[in-house]
Structure 1
């Protein structure tokens, strides 16, 4: 499944080299939410009058590097100024703190440096065989995705920094067929009623966009690299940005059945993809993982699959190596973020539960 050594690296394809960064691009639904939360955390710090010299990464509870475009940042800031009631109960600023426990830690699984493409080949075959659970979404319908999530981050109080983890909690997302309307409910990040995800620009993970993606793995990977180059954080290597982008489509999205095997086959062509013999999702289910290390942060992004059925369970980010930042208190073995999908369904309206479907 590896690309031939005689072939150019995906980042060297002419189509990719000629791309220019743009001011507005659709981002995967998962990253949209993380950008909102990251910006909200920064705004809360400003409101609190944080004067610590602690780096921004250590003050933010959302450590997954955001791909925050200026247009997105302005839109989110405008949403706050416009009076969105995003947070309920708790501290003086209206938030409900979830980080009450010690840092989540894990035993790091053994890595097979050459096993990633082989494992993805097996996963793609399993995804493309027999009955699939890929959705068919009609006009006016919404995708519903429920998951269990938690994050770990450094928290500084009175100049003392400790590493804390959120309680494992529910996250529910609704997204319209075209991606321009939706809803988010997540403890600690929204009120009990939730918050709107409506906007003029459809996210790249919207169903209408997913059905247009090529199912040829090579053509699909070119498209992923194009979007990754246009959207990525300059600190994140392009290969890692492409790997994360595919992971977003596997988690807070519901790809059409024909697209799923192509996503796995495309991921197998990304340099640096490995297999991990044991990984645990947010609900404690053990599985095997496809992963990729980001050397600049020492963190490994893992996609977790059931060992027998090879069904996708969720993903997590683990600190594998010490951070290059010597002041970073996150130690190897720490679970920086964890997510497990508990339900995906097609519903007939925004905020409708699958149990209410006719």
Structure 2
């Protein structure tokens, strides 16, 4: 299909010494980074609250600890529901993202399941790669910030007064700023309308990259894919699924240099199970052609959506296409998660909006 029989399966490549371990992830594509940012925000909130209240008395637990534990357990809950998103990020109602202001008050977002075609996906990714290479990405210097604005939405199972149902949350606008080295950051979303810091002392790595980290990654598709398989070995539902998820996260929550984006698309073409879907729609309502992969264990298909004419990356979504999840309540045609990138730019200051977003 899209993997050459003369080449070894990417998962069979030998491991490389000295690489950082991957982060455990069983969430649909794109959700890992959002959970990481939300958890980081909760940690900063906890530290701020502790600083205001002063040190806790002996034997008295921190008042913020249960809140932090809920943030940590979100991925576990999502795994138990076989991919059903339980976190509160926005979503629309019915087939039209947007609407309700309160979280979890709308009916489940649904869609028509598009037919998957494995035949032309390699050629499609070649065209997408070529378009990405020709689309120059401005370099980010020290003191500047990578700005990303997105529309995000999710579906979850909710129980109220003993009655369980599937609901979708109001569409949420996320705006993030990150320094090129990944040390400084700021996030504005539905849960943090006034914003919260994303400052970090953790060195960037594959599952939590900075702009500088991405710029240093190999631009050769084979070397890049080998690194991805090696660093994500043993995580997720399988090596191919995790490689596809990792590339999707890099496309969704970062601003890769043009050469790296092109290499990522070329690398994705080598992952077994990748197919083309002729029509998909992102959280902003934009239709496009999709590069997708179905995961049999969960019945979920993750779709990267591209503009039909320019092949620009629009966003991605995860759809239940077979079986059910969430105690059987999330059925085929349910959009479990959707994410549209509406702006990306390099800006000169934290909280600064770009004048000409990409």
Aligned counterpart, 2:77: 56
Q: Deviations over 1:235-256 (max 9, x none)?
A: x211111101111111110001
1:127 aligns with 2:128: no
Shift in CA distance, 4/65, structure 1 to aligned 2, threshold 3 Å: farther
- Evaluate the alpha carbon distance shift between residue 65 and residue 272 of structure 1 in structure 2; reply closer, same or farther with a 3 A threshold: farther
Cα distance in 1, alignment partners of residues 131 and 356 from structure 2: 31
Q: Could you state the TM-score of these two structures normalised by the residue count of structure 1?
A: 0.78
Equivalent-residue separation in structure 1 for 2:133 and 2:69 (angstroms) = 49
| Helix, strand or coil at the partner of 2:278 | strand
Q: What is aligned with 2:202?
A: 201
Structure 2 match to 1:289: 290
Query: Is 2:229 the counterpart of 1:225?
Result: yes
Structure 1 residues 214 and 269: alpha-carbon distance in aligned structure 2, compared to 1, 3 A threshold: same
CA distance in 1, matches of 2:38, 2:279: 30
Task: Please name the residue that 1:104 is paired with.
Answer: 109
Cα 1:19/1:108, change in 2 over 3 Å: farther
Question: Aligned partners of 2:214 and 2:68: how far apart in 1?
Answer: 36
The Cα shift of 1:64 comes to 5.7
What corresponds to 2:119 in structure 1? 114
Q: 2:172 maps to which residue?
A: 169
Counterpart position of 1:273: 274
SS in structure 2 at match of 1:258? helix
User: Of 140, 144, 153, which aligns to 2:143?
Assistant: 140
Q: Distance in 1 between matches of 2:153 and 2:327?
A: 23
After TM superposition, give the deviation of residue 97 of structure 1 in Å. Answer: 4.3
Label 1:153 to 1:44 Cα distance change in 2 as closer, same or farther (>3 A): farther
Q: Distance in 1 between matches of 2:264 and 2:86?
A: 22
Cα deviation, 1:121-161, whole Å, max 9, x if unaligned, reads 111122223xx241300011110000111101111112211
Task: Find the aligned partners of 2:79 and 2:22 in 1 and give their Cα distance.
Answer: 28
CA shift for structure 1 position 32:
3.5
**Distance in 1 (alpha carbons) for counterparts of 2:356 and 2:270:** 41
Pairs within 5 Å for 1:1-358: 2-15=2-15, 22=21, 31-35=32-36, 37=38, 43=66, 56-57=77-78, 63=84, 97-129=102-134, 132-187=135-190, 189-190=191-192, 192-204=193-205, 205-229=209-233, 232-233=235-236, 236-323=237-324, 327-355=327-355
In structure 1, C-alpha distance between the alignment counterparts of 2:34 and 2:133, rounded to whole Å:
30
Q: Separation in 2 of the partners of 1:150 and 1:201?
A: 28
Number of residue pairs the alignment of both structures matches = 311
Q: CA deviation at 1:356?
A: 11
Is 1:277–1:288's contact at 8 Å kept on the other side of the alignment?
yes
Please report how far the alpha carbon of residue 214 of structure 1 lies from its aligned counterpart in structure 2 after TM superposition. Answer: 0.7
Cα displacement string for residues 48-77 of structure 1 (whole angstroms, at most 9, x for unaligned residues): xxxxxxx933999x94699xxxxxxxxxxx
Note the residue ranges of structure 1 that are not aligned, 5 or more in a row: 48-54, 67-86, 88-95
Deviation track 1:94-142 (CA, whole Å, cap 9, x = no partner) reads: xx8422211000011111022222211111122223xx24130001111
CA gap 1:287/1:178 in 2 versus in 1, 3 angstroms: same
Deviation at 1:43, TM superposition (A): 4.8
RMSD: 3.4
Q: Aligned with 1:126: secondary structure?
A: helix
The answer to whether the Cα contact below 8 Å between 1:99 and 1:167 also exists between their aligned partners in 2 is yes
Q: Can you give the 5+ residue segments of structure 2 that lack an aligned partner in the other structure?
A: 43-64, 71-75, 90-100
